[in-house]
Amino acid sequence: MHKTRRQFLKAASAAGIRLLTPLGFIGIVSADESASWFKNPLKLPALQTGRIYNDERVIDLSLGYGNSAFLGERTTPTVGINGAYLGPVIRVRQGENVALKVTNQLSEPSTLHWHGLNLPAAMDGGPHQVIDPGKTWTSAFKIHQGASTQWYHSHMYHRTGIQVYYGLAGLFYIDDPRSDALNLPSDYGIDDIPLVLQDRSFNEDGSFRYASSMRDRMMGMMGQLMLVNGTAFAHFKVNKRLTRLRVLNGSNARIYNLEFADQREFQQIATDGGLLQRPVSMRSIVLAPGERAEILVLFSPGDDVMLRHKPLPKRSSPSMGMMGNMMAANDQPFDIMRFETTPDLSGPQKIPTQLIEPRSWSVSEVARTRQFTLNMQMGMGMMRGGGFGINGRSMDMDRIDARVPLGDVEIWEIVNDSPMAHPFHIHNTQFRILDRGGKPPQANELGLKDTVLINAGERVRVITQFEHYADASSPYMFHCHILEHEDAGMMGQFVVVA
């Protein structure tokens, strides 16, 4: 294993790819080098709107094997949905009844979970909705939510990490009349661009290298090379002055702090659950696994700019010890993709000053507060592969951890009692962040969210309401979205009861 990896790194090095760290992350920092490398046209997933049949929008999806060429002529065995790697962008409208028909053509069981959607628990695609090989599962429900960028991915218990890594993920757009009326860039692939960010590691033969070390399982799987929509060294030709980027952190474990190399301003217009009240000016944005952001970027003729990761400010504490050192050593700057304008750049297009009023709840409506403490047991517990849990308990498919009355407004207080950050995700709902470490959230976190990053030692309170669907027997999940942590048991189950 080590030999293979060393050979790959050697080959990469010979090809001019700079090795940034002893831990082996491959990236390119110098603008000169980047220009010669980042020239692969950004792949765009197919847009799938399905067909209307009996007042239902029917979307056919098929999980299957494929081969993908990420690195020159070497091919990588991958898994995809209606294709070799990743899946189509599913596009539906608020108020529609949808039926997602998922056929599993893999030789192992899998699931497809609709991340961020409000839906009946039995339609959620979580660990209880297993699709056996050769079988078709239909997930049918009404879309209650407004315009937003959601996504979908495998949620197979103990296999989520590897199945998503191999390619079982895609985007899920919802449109509504209010967002239509804002006249935002919305021409798919022209000025409305999906960016699925993923980091991957490869063996010398081109195959993916997944979670081979203790470190991969403990920190979560970090890759050596960036893929955007499955494109390595991606290059996008910008057509319009004002371009909307819908960014998904679809990585298993890596947290990005995104900025443009020239540190230009951009406007964040949406969080996980939809549009913000008004655009928020930013120069960098942190996105943890599972999180989405929609941003508007203004380009000028002649622009040639990298989107890159900038290391986060160090937040070291004595308790972080070895793990803190590992995290710091791994956090180097690297380029993600390149944006180059075409000579006939058209526009400009106006940025609206007001967007929508996102759903909110008042603390005075709260029926109860629940606490969730994220645990990582260090030392021997970790060495045995255990120790990942919530409230001191590891995931148990036969245990319900919380019963939430339908329609109640609740505060969920999430405490990170571990030395590293964890993105906490709640199924079936969108919430608002009340406070982070006792302080109000930043302007760009004031919208609806379904995944929130909880830094080491931090306490975050979110407020939400579970609506529309109750089922005392089918549970939804709440969990860490570092997929190796989720697979190792940092997950729990709740039901919504009428």
Compute the C-alpha angle 470/471/473, nearest 5°: 160
- Give bridge partners of residue 113 from the DSSP assignment: 153
Q: Which of 482, 491, 495, 496 binds Cu ion (CB under 5 A)?
A: 482
Concatenated DSSP letters of 11-43: HHHHTTPPB-STT--B----HHHHHHH--EEPP
CB of residue 383 to Cu ion, shortest distance in Å: 17
Residue with smaller CB distance to Cu ion, 232 or 253: 253
Concatenated DSSP letters of 323-346: HHHHHHHH---EEEEEEEEEEEEE
Q: Does 485 bind Cu ion (CB under 5 A)?
A: yes
Task: Read off φ and ψ for residue 487, nearest 5 degrees.
Answer: -60, -30
| Contact assessment for residue 174 and residue 49, using Cβ atoms and an 8 Å cutoff | no
Which pair of tokens denotes residue 95? 């108020």
Mask for 26-65, x = binds Cu ion (CB under 5 A): ----------------------------------------
Q: Does 422 bind Cu ion (CB under 5 A)?
A: yes
Three-state DSSP class for 288?
A: coil
Q: What number of chain residues touch Cu ion (CB under 5 A)?
A: 4
Q: Which window, 4-12, 38-46, 358-366, 479-487, contacts Cu ion (CB under 5 A)?
A: 479-487
| Contact assessment for residue 225 and residue 234, using Cβ atoms and an 8 Å cutoff | no
Residue with smaller CB distance to Cu ion, 173 or 424: 424
Residue with smaller CB distance to Cu ion, 247 or 376: 376
- What is the C-alpha to C-alpha distance for residues 85 and 71, in angstroms, rounded to an integer? 14
Neighbours of 40 (CB within 10 A): 15
Residue with smaller CB distance to Cu ion, 424 or 494: 424
Which pair of tokens denotes residue 79? 């898994």
Residue with smaller CB distance to Cu ion, 250 or 358: 250
Residue with smaller CB distance to Cu ion, 164 or 480: 480
Which pair of tokens denotes residue 316? 């070291």
Which pair of tokens denotes residue 54? 């009996």
Q: Which window, 133-141, 188-196, 419-427, 455-463, contacts Cu ion (CB under 5 A)?
A: 419-427
Segments in 267-371 forming alpha helices (H): 321-330
- Give bridge partners of residue 480 from the DSSP assignment: 424
Q: Which window, 78-86, 316-324, 418-426, 466-474, contacts Cu ion (CB under 5 A)?
A: 418-426
Q: Which window, 163-171, 178-186, 467-475, 485-493, contacts Cu ion (CB under 5 A)?
A: 485-493
Residue with smaller CB distance to Cu ion, 47 or 326: 326
CB of residue 79 to Cu ion, shortest distance in Å: 23
Q: Which of 118, 125, 108 is nearest to 61 (CA)?
A: 125
Hey, CA dihedral for 139, 423, 336, 350, is it positive or negative? Answer: positive
Residue with smaller CB distance to Cu ion, 240 or 427: 427
Q: Which of 228, 234, 307, 480 binds Cu ion (CB under 5 A)?
A: 480
Q: Which window, 196-204, 228-236, 431-439, 478-486, contacts Cu ion (CB under 5 A)?
A: 478-486
Residue with smaller CB distance to Cu ion, 97 or 455: 455
CB of residue 416 to Cu ion, shortest distance in Å: 9
Residue with smaller CB distance to Cu ion, 292 or 485: 485
CB of residue 111 to Cu ion, shortest distance in Å: 20
- Residue corresponding to tokens 């929508």: 356
Which pair of tokens denotes residue 32? 């000169």
Q: Which of 100, 174, 188 is nearest to 141 (CA)?
A: 100
Task: Count Cβ atoms within 10 A of the Cβ of residue 169 and give its class: 0-12 exposed, 13-18 middle, 19 or more buried.
Answer: buried
Which pair of tokens denotes residue 272? 């996980």
Q: Which window, 120-128, 207-215, 415-423, 446-454, contacts Cu ion (CB under 5 A)?
A: 415-423
CB of residue 220 to Cu ion, shortest distance in Å: 7
CB of residue 158 to Cu ion, shortest distance in Å: 15
Residue with smaller CB distance to Cu ion, 446 or 482: 482
CB of residue 482 to Cu ion, shortest distance in Å: 4
CB of residue 327 to Cu ion, shortest distance in Å: 13
Q: Which window, 31-39, 237-245, 406-414, 420-428, contacts Cu ion (CB under 5 A)?
A: 420-428
* 15 Cβ neighbours under 8 A, 6+ residues apart: none
Binding site for Cu ion (CB under 5 A): 422, 480, 482, 485
